[in-house]
Structure 1
Amino acid sequence: MTAVAQTTALASSRRGARPLAGTGTLVRLALRRDRLMLPIWVVVIGAMVVSGVGSLQTLYDTAAKRAQLAESMSANSSLRSLYGPVFDDSIGGLVAWRFATFAAVLAAVMSLIIVVRHTREEEETGRQELISSAMVGRRAPLTAALLTAVIANTAVALLITAGLSGQGVSGALALGLAVGGTGVLFATTAAIVAQLTESARTAKGMTAGVLGLAFVLRAAGDASTVDGSSVLTWLSPIGWAENVRAFGGERWWVILLIAAAGGVQGVIAYTLAGRRDVGMSFLPTRPGPTEGKLTTAGGLAWRLQRGTLLGWAGGFLLAGIVFGGMASGAADMVGDNEQATEIFRRMGGQSALTDAFLAAMVGMFGLIAALYAVGSVLRMHGEETSQRAEPVLANAVGRTAWAAGHLAVAFGGTVLVMLLAGAGLALGHGGDLPAITGAALSQVPAVWTLAGVALLLYGAVPRAAAAGWAVAGLCLALGWVGPALDLPRAVLDLSPFGHLPKLPGPRMDWPPVLLLTALAVALVAAGLAAFRRRDLQT
């Protein structure tokens, strides 16, 4: 234990009667640090749900059309696995069916980022030792992080409730609480994981893995039943949010179940936090070899990022197989409903419906791959702020060579994960492997463009590097819900993905692919030039 950590532990023991001292100050600090990120998350999640009202009212303007939609969607197991069953065919019920699951997932992602950022990341960078040496209680940092997550999720719940109250106050409140409650539940999950690992990156990855498992369990459970009563659905917190049944005969006791689970996890997190030293964890990092074998900057970058890349690659392959198996039933998913067919065609082009479904899935994988690429590029920012980059660059390693190693993993990794996603889709669908993998690879230039934006922000304005996540999140939101909401073409074109050809389809449109590739190259060149000119952060 370091001298500072020993002093911190001694000071904490003396303040045993005040374990939460300084919590209010830390909450204000967290809100100030996240004053840009939190409003963006809250508005995106809330607006995504609320804006569905107008779109659904336009597409399904009669009770007969809504009843037909509910019947056709609930009857298809593939679509239930994506969105869950329809519990009510009112506008509010259809909004809950279409957006509740994904809003709950986004709230969970927001919460895990908040909690890990203000707990494990603070300890990893050494800032927590400095803060804890003052009059700060032992459990104040964890409490402040959780309160920040609660504030953000409360804002989401209020926005959803207010925006949907015209469809029924009871249903709007139930949906808001379901989404916000799920976010708080995963905040406590992240709080537990933050006690287990020494790395903020690993903590985020592990919590995201739990979230992914919850989504898969819910999807498998909903595919097997039409009323959300499967055991697998009830094993998933995402399934709990769905089974609140907003606008469909609300089950308020499920809200209490979510709250109880969050409370239990919170107690576990507080117990673990009280039994370890600042900077330590219950799953310590495995020590490396006595003599290092890395001889290049590229080898170091691969060693740091290989676990993340392999995890993404395996996940994309498995997800591709699952969604590829749904492609054959794409026509059955929408039946004779022209509006639903048009949504899929807007997502996937004007080709045959099966190809349109595959193109929509390819586009979804591209949007998600952008998160990998941005995170991989911003790993350099983490290495710099944690002062691990400076000793490397102090030796015979140039800045360009050091950055090139990380960029090779980010850009080459994007090709790998998209290639495996395409291969998975082809295997699951039993279709044309070259055509589907080619379609997946056509998304790469757009992903590279967003990675280039992240690099330019990191190189030119390192304090704003996190804005790369906001750009990727905006593109994800546009691509995810934009077609369903029938947003104007000019809005959809704000995302580089809006300019790509819809493949597999009748033809390949090369100019936008080549232009986006050239733009990505220009962004990388500008980012590297800016990085070479500035001082390292201290």
Structure 2
Amino acid sequence: MGFALRRERVRIPVWTASVALLLAYVAVALDALYPTAAERQARAALVSSPAGIMLSGPQYGIEDYTLGAMIANEMALTVMVAVAIMSISLVVRHTRAEEETGRAELVRAGVVGRHAPGTAAFAAALVANAAIAVASGAVLSAAGLAPVDSFALGAAVGVTGLVFAAVATVTSQVTEHARAASGLALAVLGVAFLLRAFGDVQELHGSWVSWLSPVGWAQQIRAYVDLRWWPLALSLVLVALLLVLGAALAARRDLGAGLVPPRAGRPDAAGWLASPLALAWRQQRASVLAWGVAVGLTALACGTFVDSVGTMVADNPEIAAMLGDPTDLVSGFVAVMALFLGLGAGGFAVASVQRARGEETSGRLEPVLATGVGRVRWLGGQFVVTLLGTAALLVASALGLWLGALSVGEDAFGLADYLAASFAYLPAVAVVAGVGAAAFGGRPGLAGLAWALLAYSFVVTMFGGLLDLPSWAGAASPFWHVPQLPGADVEPWPFVWLTLLAAALVGLGLTAFRRRDVPRP
């Protein structure tokens, strides 16, 4: 366990601080945006739509929408999903990924039991989730919310993370590869999210379907409304059962093997696969599909709010300021949603570029470069797939917004307008991805700079006006220079220099990659 915690000595504090700062900021920002009961009730009417319920929760406290109820309904779900993803990644990294690279075999050669790696991984997840739970409760209490309810909400977040840490413990026994184990666990998370969403839509405060999901159990504690602790006991029981199942499965398989053997491939590969570009696409196609579905569904839900813009900004000048021209609120809302989804596509782009680092550290890159494949062709193929995948996500976001708006009878803009609003952010996303490519080529340890730039861009572009940030702060983000379509005047120069900057960063990464060593795993 000590070794696992040492490896996570940076990640756990970063995750804890990120969640705590997010909740602290949201509590302060929502209090400033909705200072009166009337404004909060207008917000309640907005999130009470079917799309709002799917993206928030079972609507406890909707009749008297206090700040606490607002955070529990609208932010708790986002934080729970993020912490669940963190827990899945942590457990898989310390179990299946260690077996896949061969390091687990070296450890097991010593006086180490069969279940020690899984136990250590779950213990590290327990520490991480406990830290997040305590920090979340502390910052919400400091924001003036009821302390008991605040720590209960933090506990719900932490326990949900433990559930999916236990899920990852089981999926790590099933497959031979870390990506497959993570994918199965994330699929379970997706099913849990959908069950909770469909159950909450069927009936106010959730139907019986909501109780089929551990995410639904966490939201059923009714924080800041009518607190009850017992739903969290269901999650703890499930954690115990999953851990027992994971231990039983681990005892039935060989080290390095999975309970489900991998499917044998074709004896002869298709001719079109004989290129670095085709290899990169083959490796990332599942990721592109998963991100595309997630972005498309999010865009579809956002599009259903288009006809509610007037209610959203009524008597709320802060929200109106975010949407720009008060005479054209629909245009402003579409522009903000296109920006939000463009930032989401940026998340895919950064993850896609950093996949190259995974190929290097796993040892799969060295055999590829030992053939006739050059470094520039290989890394260039990775970046081309990143751009193509980003373009596919932007198409999905445009289609989702358009179909969502049509579903509520809003046809002020056509599909071409939504496509233009979405694709305007492609050069900005390419710049962020270029930062990741330059870091990988020269100093792989600095790959986190791309994530930092994306997070900074999210804050300054989404909330810069509300925070009254200076113009130089916004100019540091590539997204800040993109005209917000539809409605804004379009000048070609921002697109030109953003494209040139992205090309320069990628060129820098390719040049640096040609000159540095590829270390052995």
TM > 0.5 between the two?
A: yes
Residue 398 of structure 1: CA displacement? 0.7
The 5 Å alignment of 1:395-474 reads 395-430=371-406, 431=411, 432-465=414-447, 468-469=450-451, 471-472=453-454
| Residue number in structure 1 paired with 2:88 | 112
Which residue in the other structure is 1:3 paired with?
A: none
Secondary structure of the residue that 1:278 maps to in structure 2? coil
Q: Matched residue pairs, number? A: 506
Which residue in the other structure is 1:297 paired with? 276
Cα–Cα, structure 1 residues 441 and 65, in superposed 2: closer, same or farther, change >3 Å? closer
1:69 CA displacement: 4.0
Secondary structure of the structure 1 residue equivalent to 2:344: helix
Instruction: Choose which of 13, 17, 29 in structure 2 pairs with 1:39.
Output: 13
Does structure 1 residue 307 correspond to structure 2 residue 286?
yes
State the distance in 1 between where 2:496 and 2:33 align: 36
Match of 1:231 in 2: 208
Matches within 5 A, 1:482-501: 482=463, 486=467, 488=469, 495-501=477-483
Counterpart contact for 2:303–2:401, Cα < 8 Å: yes
Partner of 1:29: 3
Work out the CA distance in 2 between the residues paired with 1:518 and 1:351: 36
Task: Provide the C-alpha distance between the structure 1 equivalents of 2:88 and 2:466, rounded to a whole number of angstroms.
Answer: 28
The correspondence of residues 129-148 of structure 1 with structure 2, limited to 5 A, is: 129-148=105-124
1:78 Cα deviation (Å)? 3.3
Counterparts of 2:276 and 2:436, CA distance in 1:
20
| C-alpha contact (below 8 Å) 1:347/1:483 kept by paired residues | no
* Structure 1 segment 319-334 matched on structure 2, within 5 A: 319-332=298-311, 334=312
SS of structure 2 residue aligned to 1:328: helix
For 1:491 and 1:160, locate their aligned partners in 2 and report how far apart those are by CA, in whole Å: 28
* Distance across 2 between alignment mates of 1:214 and 1:477: 29
Name the counterpart of 1:52: 26
Q: In 2, Cα distance between the equivalents of 1:340 and 1:187?
A: 39
Give 3-state SS (helix, strand or coil) of 1:137's partner: coil
Instruction: Please tell me whether the aligned partners of residues 101 and 241 of structure 1 are also in contact (alpha carbons under 8 angstroms).
Output: no
AA of the residue aligned to 1:268 = L
Identity fraction in percent = 38
1:183 corresponds in structure 2 to: 161
Question: Is 393-402 or 322-331 further displaced after alignment?
Answer: 322-331
Contact 1:346–1:483, Cα closer than 8 Å, also in 2: no
Computed over aligned residues only, the root mean square deviation of the Cα atoms, in angstroms, reads 2.7
Q: Is the 8 A contact 1:443 1:500 kept in 2?
A: yes
> Quick check: 1:49–1:100 contact (8 Å CA) kept in 2?
no
The answer to whether residue 338 in structure 2 is matched with residue 362 in structure 1 is yes
Residues 1:522 and 1:36: Cα distance change in structure 2 (over 3 Å) = farther
Matching residue's letter, 1:170 = V
Matching residue of 1:72: 45
Matched, 1:201 2:174: no
Q: 1:509 to 1:205 in 2, by over 3 A?
A: farther
Deviation track 1:303-350 (CA, whole Å, cap 9, x = no partner) reads 222232233334434443343334334434x262415743xx526876
Match of 2:316 in 1: 338
Q: For 1:338-383, what per-residue CA distance to the aligned partner results, in whole angstroms no more than 9, with x for missing partners?
A: 15743xx526876733333333332232222223222222222222
Q: What's the counterpart of residue 100 of structure 1?
A: 76
Shift of 1:217: 3.2
TM-score of the pair, normalised by structure 2: 0.88
Shift of 1:435: 0.6
Instruction: Assess, with a 3 A threshold, how the Cα gap between structure 1 residues 33 and 132 changes in structure 2: closer, same or farther.
Output: same
Please give the per-residue CA displacement for 1:147-195, whole angstroms capped at 9, x wherever unaligned: 1111111111111111222421211111110111111111112222222
Q: Residue 243 of structure 2 is aligned with which of 259, 266, 270?
A: 266
C-alpha separation in 1, matches of 2:513 and 2:319: 47
Code of the residue aligned with 2:424 in structure 1: it is: S
**Residue ranges of structure 2 left out of the alignment (5+ in a row):** none
Unaligned runs of 5+ in 1: 1-26
- Give the Å deviation of 1:470: 5.3
Aligned partner of 1:517 in structure 2 is 499
1:466 to 1:135, Cα distance in 2 relative to 1, 3 A: farther
Label 1:270 to 1:222 Cα distance change in 2 as closer, same or farther (>3 A). Answer: same
Relative distance call for 1:200 and 1:492 in structure 2 (3 A) is: farther
What is the aligned partner in structure 1 of residue 150 from structure 2? Answer: 172
**2:186 aligned with 1:213, yes or no?**
no
Taking a change above 3 Å as real, the CA distance of residues 470 and 38 of structure 1, as seen in their structure-2 partners, is: farther
